[in-house]
């Protein structure tokens, strides 16, 4: 009787120990029905190639649920969101891939593509602060992209940050492959915009740089003359107005302004 009781108690004590041993070995022993991250990733890649993007996203998300540090899943997720034009999700996925494997093949390139696309979309939508943020993050990783410098310059203009805009646009202007006409026109536009907003100092700075690139623009000199006058700099106003009249000596507006200056 006592022997049987002892045996039963021994078995009951042994059961938890056995469970502990089995549990400890679970990480090493494949369990039927549990998904394999590598297999899921391969399925997701195939779905991406077949342009079944929603299904591919689900697969890559499943991989990440099993292993959050799987940078390849984040990278493919970023690529898929880029194709879908879902820039916010693409940027976050690319950022995760870059965090877990900054040296991984195509990680930086894909992340930069997401940042540029998101920045461009924000710029087009008039979300200038967001655009500045994304292009600034881009330029910390790649300072050699002339289009990024041009775009962030335009975003700064939209936000009324004329000093930063001019600095960025001049940076772009000094780089190979620049669309000079686009950048120079942006500087002119910024100078006019600053004048209309009564930021005369910024208008003078931008238009002074503009006329270095296009010294035959009457309106640039005339607006600069008015900016100098409004900011109390009569000498600068006269000098700019003289240049304007050299270009268009019959302008009634400029002639009237000259009499005003006298």
Q: How far apart are CA 244 and CA 216, in angstroms?
A: 8
* HSE, side-chain direction, 13 A CA sphere, residue 261: 24
Write b or e for each residue in 114-147: b if 16 or more Cβ atoms lie within 10 A of its Cβ, otherwise e: bbbbbbbbbbeeebbebbbbbbbbbbeeeeebbb
> Any idea what the Cα angle at residue 121 is, between residues 55 and 119, rounded to 5°?
100
The DSSP line for 88-134 is HHHHHHHHHHHHH-TTSTTHHHHHHHHHHHHHHHHHHTT-HHHHHHH
Average pLDDT for 190-204: 98
pLDDT at 18 exceeding the cut of 80: no
Q: How far apart are CA 76 and CA 53, in angstroms?
A: 11
pLDDT at 226 exceeding the cut of 50: yes
Residue 162 pLDDT grade (very low, low, confident, very high; cuts 50, 70, 90): very high
> Any idea what the Cα angle at residue 46 is, between residues 86 and 114, rounded to 5°?
25
Q: Which residue has the higher pLDDT, 24 or 242?
A: 242
Q: Which residue has the higher pLDDT, 165 or 4?
A: 165
Q: How far separated are the first and last CA of the chain, in Å rounded?
A: 125
Ramachandran angles phi, psi of 91, nearest 5°: -65, -45
The pLDDT value recorded for residue 228 is 96
Q: How far apart are CA 100 and CA 90, in angstroms?
A: 16
Q: Which residue has the higher pLDDT, 55 or 7?
A: 55
pLDDT at 192 exceeding the cut of 50: yes
For 128-159, how does the pLDDT look when each residue is reduced to its tens digit (9 = 90+)? 999 999 999 999 999 999 999 999 999 999 99
- Phi-psi group of 36: left, alpha or beta (phi > 0 → left; psi -120 to 50 → alpha; rest → beta): beta
Ramachandran angles phi, psi of 117, nearest 5°: -60, -40
Q: Write down the residue that tokens 């000079």 correspond to.
A: 180
Q: Write down the residue that tokens 């039963």 correspond to.
A: 8
Residue 257 pLDDT grade (very low, low, confident, very high; cuts 50, 70, 90): confident
């Amino acid at each position: 009787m006592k022997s049987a009781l002892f045996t039963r108690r021994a078995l009951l004590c042994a059961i938890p120990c056995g469970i502990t041993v089995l549990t400890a070995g679970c990480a090493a022993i494949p369990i039927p029905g549990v998904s394999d991250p590598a297999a899921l990733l391969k399925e997701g890649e195939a779905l991406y190639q077949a342009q079944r993007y929603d299904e591919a996203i689900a697969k890559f998300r499943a991989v990440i649920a099993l292993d959050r540090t799987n940078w390849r899943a984040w990278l493919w997720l970023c690529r898929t969101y880029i194709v879908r034009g879902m820039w916010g999700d693409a940027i976050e996925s690319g950022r995760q891939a870059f965090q877990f494997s900054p040296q991984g093949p195509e990680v930086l390139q894909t992340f930069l593509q997401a940042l540029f696309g998101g920045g461009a979309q924000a710029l087009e939508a008039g979300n200038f602060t967001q655009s500045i943020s994304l292009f600034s993050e881009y330029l910390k990783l790649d300072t050699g992209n002339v289009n990024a410098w041009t775009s962030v310059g335009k975003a700064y203009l939209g936000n009324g940050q004329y000093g930063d805009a001019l600095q960025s646009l001049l940076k772009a202007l000094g780089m190979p492959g620049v669309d000079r006409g686009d950048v120079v026109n942006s500087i002119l536009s910024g100078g006019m915009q600053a004048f209309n907003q009564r930021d005369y100092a910024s208008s003078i700075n931008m238009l002074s740089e503009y006329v270095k690139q296009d010294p035959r623009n009457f309106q640039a000199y005339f607006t600069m003359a008015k900016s100098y006058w409004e900011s109390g700099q009569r000498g600068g106003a006269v000098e700019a107005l003289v240049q304007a009249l050299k270009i268009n000596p019959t302008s009634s507006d400029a002639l009237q302004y000259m009499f005003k200056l006298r």
